[in-house]
Amino acid sequence: MVKQKVLKVKKISKDAELPEYAFESDVGFDLRANEEVTINSMEHKAIKIGIAIEIPEGYVGIIRDRAGIITKMGVHTVAGTFDPAYRGEVSVIMTNFGDEEVVIEKGMRIAQMIIIPVEKVKIVETKKLSETKRGKRGFGSTGDMDILKELDELEEMSKEE
């Protein structure tokens, strides 16, 4: 039997709500705002959760958006990484990409945290990296290959006609 990891949670605010998984199958647990905050259009603010956590060694806590808050309010969380040594209050930085101000109410589920195992790697400088099919192509480049392939096929078809 695999021993389940434990996330220790300390309430910093007496009325803070403990994080919880909405469904048994969820990989992220919900974090609730511990204050009411107004976020103007194109503004970002840190929203206090009212808790501190102790993430197990060898793991990291990653903050992610909740789909409902994005689609209904146009508010996104800014990526957050919580290391095992951090003991301060958990806050979630949110940005309002909508045209109107958004009010985050106290107790609202605003983000989720996923606890993920991590492996430390040894960092070694090198003069050369291995070759790959993708190479140096950056953001969005994986979809470019499909487009290039289709263009090549169209060009071949036009030559045959």
Query: Would residue 124 count as lying in a domain?
Result: no
How crowded is the C-beta side of 141, counted as CA atoms within 13 Å? 7
User: For 72-82, what is each residue's pLDDT tens digit?
Assistant: 888 999 878 99
Q: Which helix (H) or strand (E) holds 142?
A: helix 141-160
How crowded is the C-beta side of 49, counted as CA atoms within 13 Å? 27
Residue 14 CB burial class (10 angstroms; 0-12, 13-18, ≥19): exposed
Tokens encoding 88: 């301060």
Angle at CA 65, nearest 5°, toward 32 and 110?
20
Tokens encoding 102: 């958004």
Query: Would residue 157 count as lying in a domain?
Result: no
What residue type is assigned to position 54 of the chain? E
Angle at CA 98, nearest 5°, toward 82 and 23?
50
Rounded average pLDDT over 127-155: 72
Query: Would residue 42 count as lying in a domain?
Result: yes
Query: Would residue 107 count as lying in a domain?
Result: yes
Query: Would residue 156 count as lying in a domain?
Result: no
Number of domains in the chain: 1
Query: Would residue 34 count as lying in a domain?
Result: yes
pTM of the predicted model as reported, rounded to 2 decimal places:
0.78
- pLDDT confidence bin for 55, thresholds 50/70/90: very high
Domain that holds residue 25: 8-117
Q: What is the mean pLDDT of the chain?
A: 89
Give the CATH number for residue 69. Answer: 2.70.40.10
Q: Which helix (H) or strand (E) holds 71?
A: helix 67-73
Distances (CA, A) of 19 to 11, 108, 112, 149: 11, 12, 9, 47
